Structure 1
Amino acid sequence: MDGILHTLDILMFAVACVCLMAGFPVAFTLAGVALVFATLAVLFGGSVTLGAIPNRIFGTMSNETLIAVPLFIFMGVMLERSKVAEELLETMGRLFGRMPGGLGISVSIVGALLAASTGIVGATVVTMGLLSLPTMLRNGYCPRLACGSIAASGTLGQIIPPSIVLVFLADQLSNAYQTAQRDMGNWSPEPFSVGDLFAGALLPGLALVGLYISYQLFVAFTQPHKSPPMKVNADEAAPTLSQILHALVPPVALIIAVLGSILAGIATPTEAASVGAVGSLLLAGYRMDMQKTLPIYAAVLSLIALLVLTSFMDLRVARNEIGAGDQAGIYLAYLLCAVLAYGLGVAVWRVWKGTVLVPVMRSTTQITCMVFVILIGATFFSLIFRDLGGEELVTEALTGLPGGALGAIIAVMLVMFVLGFFLDFLEIVFVVVPLVAPVLLQLEMPNGEPMHPAWLGVMMAVNLQTSFLTPPFGFALFYLRGVAPPSVRTMDIYRGIIPFVLIQVLMLAILWYFPALATWLPEVIYG
């Protein structure tokens, strides 16, 4: 009996992987496998704590950080429906297209901007595939390079904040970091938040964009026939400054409002996500009727004024003593909120009349439900896996590897990379990270310092990004295949992403040798 009990944890993980690879629904596979093996454990004389699951689910429901997820999803879907991507692609293509490799560079830049403003991989890949791929092919681009550029740039939403992946990864790493610190005897560790991981991922994300652009330039100058300049009609002029600003300012302003408010400490990630949702709604309302813009401009200025006012004054009303200056600020905030509410009402009316609001709400609800059902299923799985001794098994396996911290990190990165061929990033975040992170966070970084959770999180995020690019289940490849013209073969897409996957592996190596790339900004901002 004891021998069977000691092998249930390994069998449980193996059965879950087989079922997931067979295509069964993720959430029901994780929860179902957990319940089956919990029953087997009880039958063979073991004990499991199924009674803790309701508390775990309630803890997920009451987790304020995770409220940011549906807000970020709403922001991304609303921006995708408001044609921001289309205008960006068209303007950047006209701006850079005249130079060798210019269309590939414009795809990388637009992918980075959309990643920081929408963060939804599927919407970005589909939009760029519909708009950019035919243009690149018509101008003589190599199909492999064109497909690889679009698929890789579309997945930047995984690493460039604000990203839904980083929100979930930070939540899991926060719990793992607390566990690791307690195991090391530190009962009052410094908290680790979503803002820390956002700050840590910013520079590596921009560095990854730089590597993509460098590769585009390398191909353009070494193999110019693969990425020629765009064919321009004699009567077609370059975009004017006003056209460039009209395409760039709205998404960049939204990025600054969301990410800047987090990094500046003005707002929590959840509060910043609400700012992003409001901003995307105002932007969509502006696009629906560009003749009557006064209510939208007034609302945007009120939103900016509220952010500035919050950073300089204490606007809490539930206080015993409120100074004259703060009281004036509170009255001003009431007025700004009224103007903002009026502008939001106008924007909601416009997007509802334009048949945009209902599809956006439906899509947001579907994506949010899918994510949280997977989270609940993963909660079942991780709890039962721990009860069966899986945590001790993982600890022994990682600490027993040759090479110490280097061997453990390489092993985990290889496992996550291979799992990315078959599993979605959510399964890996919810199943693998809680098992390995508490052990890894007790080791040292390459520079000899205690392992920083932001560095580990960025390493995992870059690794997880490959799960969208690697066949057979790379979702970015499926999205692109669905919108690519018939002349583009599936093998062109598969071969086109190989250089970009290698670039991401190079980014992992850079992070390994220069961990400050991920740890410097969080320490500067949050100390």
Structure 2
Amino acid sequence: MIAQYGLPLGMVLVLLLGIFSGYPVAFVLGGTGVLFVLLTDLPNLFLGTMVSRVYGGVIANWLLVAVPMFVYMGLMLERSGLARNLLISLQYMMGGMRGGLALAVALLGLILAAGTGVIGASVVTLGILGLPVMLQNGYNKEIATGTIAASGTLGILLPPSIMLVLMGDILSIPVGDLFVAAVLPGVLLVGLYMIFLITVAIFRGDLMPAMAVTEKLTRLQMFIRMMRDMVAPIALVMVVLGSIIAGLATPTEAASLGAIGATILAATTRQLSWKVLGGTIFETGKITGMIMFVIIGATCFGVVFARLGGPHMIASMVDAMPFEAWGTLIMLLAIIFVLGFVLEWIEISYVVLPLFAPIVIALDFGLGLSTTEIMLWFAILVAVVLQTSFLTPPFGYALFYLKGVSPKGVTMAMIYRGAAPFVVLQLAAVGLLMLFPALAIWLPRLAFAN
């Protein structure tokens, strides 16, 4: 097999060496593709095919217009002060009990995820607003940092997730179906987080003491304040998702509604200024540019890899494995999980998913699902696995985001230890999704029954 598939194996080796060298991944992907055109017997005119694929598959792809608008929406919401007000309300509502602050952070992470879809914004916001308060109230540093990092990563799974938009494009799945399918798994994850936090609060209350409430408000007043602060972000999410589910707007059009709505909310909270608007647009351009360069580089790599027999190599390797359908699925997800230690979800999505998707479609799981439903289920499984890549060392980006805003005394080792239980919880969620595919399939069936 090595002799037969030496060229695609060489591409993978060069790709890994380039990534570990620290060179920008987008240029490593594209450069590897061009290099192997020049080193092999592929005609130089094949480079023209790569350009055509980049233009037709990336630049002219209308769906990808949603990416900068969803990024803008998340960043503008983060700057509008809505997250800060809501966290304060949740803190006072739940802070009087052991573990209450951690539960408030987890709930805010859920709301921010549904409102932003940008992990960097969610983790930084939760870190700035929640971590000092948790530490001041005597929280264990590992518990505090782990809760914030894990809650912040929900933004990559729950709609309007940028990852789901790109995965829909890669796997040719309607983005609306992916958005709806991700809701129950996202709620499942939050539920597992909260069960873990409540358990720790019950048996190790000293790690998560109750917050000293200084503002004298009744429970009813706290609840009214919390609901007031929740109305705006929830309304915006309902407009975005509701317009897609109802068939009134495409994901791209819904993203524009979200961007406009976030700007209006910032204006109503008197947080909209030329400085805020300019900074949001600048950051949106940076994030979008990074994503697009990776997509272009991955397209170049994928075209050459396929031409040199890469998909056949992967299929042969899988056929050689002594696994049935379920064993093969576990192996594929395990590969993605391990890759998450060293790669970002964008590279994994554009390099691995096009190779693994045909393999999964050909497997017989005995579930009675259609091909579309199998791909939808597989996409959600991959999405949850990829979410763990933000929490696993050495390149867990959520951990580095959090370290950047942590007070003195919070070390990287503490953050790593704090994230470990939540990685286990996320893998448990993957197991539940494998055992019960209806968690990913039932809601899309219900929403799009007609």
After TM superposition, the score normalised by the length of structure 2 is: 0.95
For 1:420-459, list aligned pairs within 5 A. Answer: 420-445=340-365, 447-451=367-371, 452-459=374-381
Partner of 1:30: 29
3-state DSSP of counterpart to 2:70:
helix
Partner of 1:109: 107
3-state DSSP of counterpart to 1:231:
coil
Distance 2:177 2:162 in 1: 14
Distance 1:37 1:5 in 2: 16
Give the number of aligned pairs. 445
Distance 2:195 2:174 in 1: 33
Instruction: Provide, for residues 324-366 of structure 1, a one-character-per-residue CA deviation record: whole Å limited to 9, x for no partner.
Output: xxxxxxxxxxxxxxxxxxxxxxxxxx532xx211111111111
Give the residue type in structure 2 aligned to 1:402. P
3-state DSSP of counterpart to 1:209:
helix
Distance 1:66 1:40 in 2: 33
Give the residue type in structure 2 aligned to 1:39. L
Partner of 2:337: 417
Question: Among residues 261, 271, 285, which one is paired with 1:279 in the alignment?
Answer: 261
Q: 1:404, CA displacement in angstroms?
A: 2.2
Distance 1:392 1:225 in 2: 56
Change (3 A) 1:55 1:140: same
Q: 1:264, CA displacement in angstroms?
A: 2.1
Partner of 1:181: none
C-alpha contact 1:133 1:484 (8 A) present in aligned 2: yes
Distance 1:403 1:421 in 2: 25
Structure 1 residue runs of 4+, over 4 Å off? Answer: 2-5, 45-48, 234-239
Distance 1:82 1:221 in 2: 36
RMSD: 1.9
Distance 1:25 1:445 in 2: 39
Partner of 1:259: 241
Distance 1:493 1:48 in 2: 50
C-alpha contact 1:469 1:477 (8 A) present in aligned 2: yes
Partner of 2:273: 351
Give the residue type in structure 1 aligned to 2:257. V
Give the residue type in structure 1 aligned to 2:227. L
Give the residue type in structure 1 aligned to 2:49. A
C-alpha contact 1:100 1:220 (8 A) present in aligned 2: yes
For 1:9-408, list aligned pairs within 5 A. Answer: 9-42=8-41, 49-59=46-56, 60-174=58-172, 192-233=173-214, 235=216, 239-288=221-270, 351-352=273-274, 355-408=275-328
3-state DSSP of counterpart to 2:369:
coil
Distance 2:294 2:253 in 1: 24
Q: 1:236, CA displacement in angstroms?
A: 6.4
Change (3 A) 1:449 1:164: same
C-alpha contact 1:88 1:110 (8 A) present in aligned 2: yes
Change (3 A) 1:391 1:49: farther
Instruction: Provide, for residues 457-476 of structure 1, a one-character-per-residue CA deviation record: whole Å limited to 9, x for no partner.
Output: 10000000011000000000
Tell me which structure has the larger Cα radius of gyration: 1
Give the residue type in structure 2 aligned to 1:269. P
Partner of 1:501: 423
Give the residue type in structure 2 aligned to 1:158. I
For 1:456-467, list aligned pairs within 5 A. Answer: 456-467=378-389
C-alpha contact 1:420 1:470 (8 A) present in aligned 2: yes
Q: 1:500, CA displacement in angstroms?
A: 0.4
Percentage identity across aligned positions?
44
3-state DSSP of counterpart to 2:89:
helix
3-state DSSP of counterpart to 1:288:
coil
Distance 2:309 2:170 in 1: 20
Instruction: Provide, for residues 2-29 of structure 1, a one-character-per-residue CA deviation record: whole Å limited to 9, x for no partner.
Output: 9867301011112212211221101101
Q: 1:216, CA displacement in angstroms?
A: 0.8
Structure 1 residue 481 and structure 2 residue 403: aligned?
yes
Q: Which runs of 5+ in 1 are unaligned?
A: 175-191, 290-349
Distance 1:371 1:3 in 2: 33
Give the residue type in structure 2 aligned to 1:65. L
C-alpha contact 1:446 1:513 (8 A) present in aligned 2: no
Give the residue type in structure 2 aligned to 1:483. V
C-alpha contact 2:89 2:222 (8 A) present in aligned 1: no
Instruction: Provide, for residues 411-432 of structure 1, a one-character-per-residue CA deviation record: whole Å limited to 9, x for no partner.
Output: 1111111110000110001111
Give the residue type in structure 1 aligned to 2:51. P
Q: Which runs of 5+ in 2 are unaligned?
A: none
Distance 2:445 2:228 in 1: 35
Instruction: Provide, for residues 162-187 of structure 1, a one-character-per-residue CA deviation record: whole Å limited to 9, x for no partner.
Output: 1000101111111xxxxxxxxxxxxx
Distance 1:525 1:515 in 2: 16
Distance 1:110 1:207 in 2: 15
C-alpha contact 1:85 1:110 (8 A) present in aligned 2: yes
C-alpha contact 1:49 1:387 (8 A) present in aligned 2: no
Give the residue type in structure 1 aligned to 2:77. L
Change (3 A) 1:457 1:127: same
After TM superposition, the score normalised by the length of structure 1 is: 0.81
Distance 2:436 2:281 in 1: 42
Between 402-411 and 511-520, report the one with greater CA deviation: 402-411
Q: 1:54, CA displacement in angstroms?
A: 2.1
Change (3 A) 1:242 1:450: closer
C-alpha contact 1:5 1:388 (8 A) present in aligned 2: no
Q: 1:234, CA displacement in angstroms?
A: 7.1
